[in-house]
Amino acid sequence: MAISEILDDTIGTWRRERPDLDFDGMALFLKMSATVRKIIEGFKDDIHELGITLSEFDVLATLRRSGPKAVLTPGYIAHVAMVKPSGLAHRLAQLEKAGLISRTPDPEDRRSALIRITPAGRRIADRAIELLAGHKNEAFSGLTDRQRESLDQLLDKVIDTTDAVSQSTHSA
């Protein structure tokens, strides 16, 4: 059974069992989630061959896209990688052990460090981003340019809405 059939069946059975609820949002969420999972599965296999995990890739990608002389703090990396700083410590230790990043004490904050990508880390990040771009382009190859643009705009709206809802929930 194809993934789309499984998702349609899931939503259809919920609609039958709970006709009092609106499952349109859930259907969209399940479809987005399934799409992301499929893309990530293929990418995880590829980057595993590079000797890194997906979460380690997030760190390397943040450093790599910040430029060749970038020096970032763990707090900044955690923020843009959307992880808790406590979840970053292990990633940094593994990447440093593998020689893909270097850490030096932050002269302005003795409790923190300054993180740099090494030449080896840069090579790994470049290869991984090439693989990721390929997987993502394959996933959307069935869409026209106009459809991709529309999807991009719609996803921006969904992100803005979820951000607004999240902020109002946390400030209440």
Q: Tens of pLDDT along 2-56?
A: 888 999 999 999 999 999 999 999 999 999 999 888 888 888 888 898 999 999 9
Which two tokens mark 44?
């995880």
What is the Cα–Cα distance from 160 to 64, expressed in whole angstroms? 27
pLDDT digits (tens, 9 = 90+) for 89-130: 999 999 999 999 999 998 888 888 999 999 999 999 999 999
Is-above-0.85 flag for pTM?
no
Give the type of residue at 162: T
Which two tokens mark 108?
């302005």
* CATH class entry, domain 52-139: mainly alpha
Which two tokens mark 79?
């923020």
Are 95 and 56 in contact by the 8 Å Cβ rule? The answer is: yes
pLDDT digits (tens, 9 = 90+) for 63-98: 999 998 899 999 999 998 888 888 899 999 999 999
CA atoms within 13 A on the CB side of 57: 22
